[in-house]
A = this chain, B = another copy of it.
């Protein structure tokens, strides 16, 4: 429950309004002003827990910079990541009180938050915000279900390839890079976090990454810097049918 609340908002709002896919894209001036009034920033350090499962959740918001994960844990410690929040992703459940899972910052993290009550009120008044929220939730649901296929039916190698593909695609989209060019990015997750995402052990993750490297599917510099020479090849390894758009 160690939540550093930095009400100081050094960033210009324009930035986050453009970045978070959430509520801004179709708001008029008036509505943006309303949003501004209930908006604040929160910063977290890498490793910090934003929210524990069961906590009251009095805000909604979106990631500005950094990465957070949603995880569920069994009493005996087995944990499964159920969501990955990259910049521009939305967190929060309007109408819900309790967080259903832990939210953890895996890197230093800045979030743009809105207090929940006022946000909900605004939602009632501006239908297109509710629409947007529904759309986003449906996206998340699709992604979760895509991920169920990965967890339930894919081999370790396919799982790793799938995860790399998601990150690569997501990264490429943010950079507006062409999709057939080679993709370069830094892995935002530790091997352990990847294993939690994929329902594997970290040893298996490591081995499979080594294998993909040996087979030329990816090029690794250091432990985190990845180059994907051919997205097509990667997707093939992932067992994906040509495209398919799984995002967190």
Could you tell me which A residues sit within 8 Å of B by CB distance?
70, 72, 74-76, 78-80, 82-83, 93-96, 100-101, 124, 127, 130-131, 133-135, 137-138, 140-142, 144-149, 151-154, 198-199, 239, 241
Minimum Cβ distance to chain B for residue A230 (Å): 19
Is there contact, CB below 8 Å, between A241 and B199? no
Contacting pair B74 A149 (CB below 8 A): yes
A142 contacts across to B, CB distance below 8 A: 100
Q: A134-B134, A144-B144, A144-B145 provided; 12 other pairs, C-beta below 8 A?
A: A72-B146, A74-B149, A76-B239, A78-B154, A82-B148, A93-B138, A95-B134, A134-B137, A140-B141, A141-B141, A148-B148, A148-B151
| A111 CA to B35 CA, complexed, in Å | 40
Number of copies: 2
The answer to whether B95 and A138 touch across the interface, beta carbons within 8 angstroms, is: yes
Beta-carbon contact of A80 and B149 below 8 Å: yes
Among B93, B130, B241, the residue within 8 A (CB) of A127 is B130
CA distance in complex: A66, B79 (Å): 34
Asked if A138 and B137 make an inter-chain contact with CB atoms under 8 angstroms apart, the answer reads yes
Interface centre among A101, A131, A152, A198 (most CB of B within 10 A): A152
- Indicate if the CB atoms of A241 and B146 lie closer than 8 Å: no
Chain B residues in 8 Å Cβ range of A101: 145
